[in-house]
Chain A
Amino acid sequence: QVQLVQSGAEVKKPGASVKVSCKASGYTFTSYGISWVRQAPGQGLEWMGWISAYNGNTNYAQKLQGRVTMTTDTSTSTAYMELRSLRSDDTAVYYCARGFGTGIDYWGQGTLVTVSS
């Protein structure tokens, strides 16, 4: 069965960086992209970007350009999302999800990132 298992919660200080992992299993990793979505407390979903696990091509949300980097390690079927220069309004649950374009299907369980001094 398809599973996306994310890394654990993180607490970071303003200005720091965070790297969240998303380990995929149950399917051929390079056959799908991975999307990243975040949700601030009590707020809606925000699309952050996407990476092709086939060739590493990325597409980032304009507001995050320059602060976010998405990568994959095909040897371990793991996707990563790094966000730099963290601010308090980056506090959110970060989700990875399989797919892009025509559709997203499976989601990870979410990773809470708290930015606080």
Chain B
Amino acid sequence: QTVVTQEPSLTVSPGGTVTLTCASSTGAVTSGYYPNWFQQKPGQAPRALIYSTSNKHSWTPARFSGSLLGGKAALTLSGVQPEDEAEYYCLLYYGGAQGGVFGGGTKLTVL
């Protein structure tokens, strides 16, 4: 069974920069896994931030960026705002019977 791993929690100061990562138990994450990133706040539906590794949706703030870093998918927040405090999930697509697998989520605290 494929497992996608994210940091359980991270803390960042307002105005700071933080990078969240997304690793696959099958090996290095590549663009062929079409990494997606989502933000979820308590009581709300997830909101899409990044698709296909680094592409932003029209509503994605400029301070969010996606990349591949050291064999993992990465989401970087630069100039963090208090409203960025949320849970962040990555999604990787493996194709075939495996389909998609979400990471366990990273709880980002802005303090």
Contact = CB atoms under 8 A, between A and B. Distances in A.
Interface residues of B, number: 25
Interface string A57-68: 001111000000
Main secondary structure of the interface of A (DSSP, over half): strand
A104 B47 contact: no
A62 B101 CA distance: 11
A17 to B, nearest CB: 22
B89 A47 contact: no
Nearest to A62: B97
Interface string B50-92: 0110010100000000000000000000000000000101010
Interface string B86-111: 01010101000111111111000000
Contacts of A62: 97-99
A110 B87 CA distance: 17
27 contacts: A35-B100, A37-B46, A37-B102, A44-B102, A44-B105, A45-B40, A45-B46, A47-B99, A47-B101, A50-B99, A59-B99, A61-B99, A62-B97, A62-B99, A95-B46, A97-B46, A100-B93, A102-B51, A103-B48, A103-B55, A104-B36, A104-B38, A104-B48, A105-B51, A105-B57, A107-B46, A107-B48
